[in-house]
Amino acid sequence: MFDTRPLGDLIDFFNGKAIKPGGTGQYPAYGSNGLIGGSDEYKYENAIIIGRVGAYCGSIAYCPTRFWASDNTIVTRPRSQSGDVRYFSYLLQFLELNRHAGGAAQPLVTQTTLRQVMAPVAPEPTQRRIASILAAYDDLIENNTRRIVLLEEMARRLYEEWFVRFRFPGHEQARMVESELGLVPEGWEVVKLGSLVRDIRDSVAPTAVSSDTPYVGLEHIPRRSIALSEWGQAADVQSSKLRFRAGDILFGKIRPYFHKVAVAPVDGVSSSDAIVIRLNSEDAFVPALATINSDAFVAHAAQTSNGTKMPRANWNVLVEYPVLLPPHELRQQHHDFVSNYVAIIRNIVMRNRNLRAQRDLLLPKLIAGEIDVATFPEPEQATQASEPAVDPMAFSQTVNWPVDGLECQSQARAEWE
């Protein structure tokens, strides 16, 4: 039997404390929009973080470990020591706390307001069961997300080994020669980025696409990751957009977003603040993506941008950027490795979206008591379906990866298992 009570009777509230964002301490640091860096100190442990102010007002994050919470947050825990913290994180998501925001200049939720919000609360044994059901989905999503990070790191390390340090298979016998990029292995070719890709400016009016067409704004493209896992719908933004196809590369062209690069997993439309980059040929994918996603290219885009208040990348300049291509056999080896892992990343992204959709359908029904948890089956632990199609170590069986790369793979194997 569920009981309806004010949140102030169920949970305790605490204020966050100011912290400089972007720190790298051992403890996670949270702001109103989630994780913002690290901290050398912690203030809370196993608690819930509520976004207090701004665009993410009312957002919910759960941290089972020690952490720091900024002054843009409110931290909360169940008043009962036996109450399930994770259950209450799902309860707060169900309540959509942003609906209770006030403030004229920007949205704001206060402890006073939150204490008065009425909530359906389950008995403690039921709390634990509900939390276990929903957490099974979240844990699998998090595990898949870690796999994406691992795959991207392996691909990045391989690029650095082969194309920056020139420690590719057979590098011991390679002769170095002068080029416009300095000393490079003999037989390697320097081409312009524009010979590999082109920008697509297929502008479309808001009414020209169906409202449920996937829409990607710069806010959807993650930092330091090519895995585009979140997007909205075309109906969300009433302005002209650019069409893109699955496999196109999206590049944020406004200076604060030059580091945002993603591979589109689906067809859709993007903000006009992105550059839609399309391959001139299939075998251009890996060298183009590796180049555009490199720190050097991002720095070049910033240095050559136009404008003072809001500098924008100049594509006419970027197409002249030099790209170093190895001989065909080596290029094919690199292509096979990276394109396989990009495909795996896409599969994991789509699986995570399905898991989120299932969880989001279940959450309100479980929290409201519309589903009898006593007879509810365990969520399918379909880990096999989320396993990669290629073993992380498989590439090393065909390529003599240098020492640093092998160390990376050994760590990858340990984390994978």
Radius of gyration for the alpha carbons in the chain, expressed in angstroms and rounded: 24
User: How, if at all, do strands 322-325 and 268-270 pair?
Assistant: unpaired
Spatial separation of the C-alpha atoms in residues 220 and 281, rounded to whole Å = 27
Q: According to the model, what pLDDT value does residue 379 have?
A: 61
> Which residue in 229, 237, 239, 241 sits closest to 268, CA to CA?
241
CA distance 93 to 7: 13
Q: Are 150 and 415 in contact (CB under 8 A)?
A: yes
What is the per-residue pLDDT for 258? 65
Tell me the C-alpha to C-alpha distance, in Å, between residue 32 and each of 24, 95, 231, 248, 309.
Answer: 18, 17, 20, 32, 27
Q: Give domain limits for the chain.
A: 3-121, 126-174+330-356+372-417, 189-325
| Predicted local distance difference test score (pLDDT) of residue 222 | 85
403 and 156 in contact (C-beta within 8 Å)?
no
Looking at the domain that runs over 189-325, which CATH code has it been given? 3.90.220.20
pLDDT of residue 403: 36
pLDDT of residue 184: 94
Cα–Cα distance for residue pair 243/281, rounded to 1 Å: 19
Asked if the domains 3-121 and 189-325 are classified in one and the same CATH topology, the answer is: yes
User: Dmax over Cα atoms in the chain, in whole Å?
Assistant: 78
Tens of each residue's pLDDT in the chain, 417 residues: 689 999 999 999 999 998 876 778 899 999 988 888 899 999 999 999 999 998 889 999 999 999 999 999 999 999 998 899 999 999 999 999 999 998 777 889 999 999 999 999 999 999 999 999 999 999 999 999 999 999 998 888 888 899 889 999 989 999 999 999 899 999 999 999 999 999 999 999 888 889 889 999 988 988 778 898 889 998 888 888 999 999 999 998 887 776 789 999 999 999 988 999 999 988 899 899 989 988 889 889 988 988 877 888 899 999 999 999 999 899 888 888 888 888 899 999 999 999 999 999 999 999 999 998 888 876 654 333 444 444 444 444 434 444 344 444 444 444 444
Which ranges of 201-284 does DSSP label H, i.e. alpha helix? Answer: none
Report DSSP state, residue 151. Answer: H
Render pLDDT for 301-350 as a digit per residue (tens, 0 to 9).
988 988 877 888 899 999 999 999 999 899 888 888 888 888 899 999 99
CA atoms within 13 A on the CB side of 354: 11
Helix, strand, or coil here: 239? coil
Dist CA 305 CA 295 (whole Å): 15
At the fourth CATH level, the homologous superfamily of domain 3-121 is DNA methylase specificity domains (3.90.220.20)
Rounded to two decimals, the pTM is: 0.81
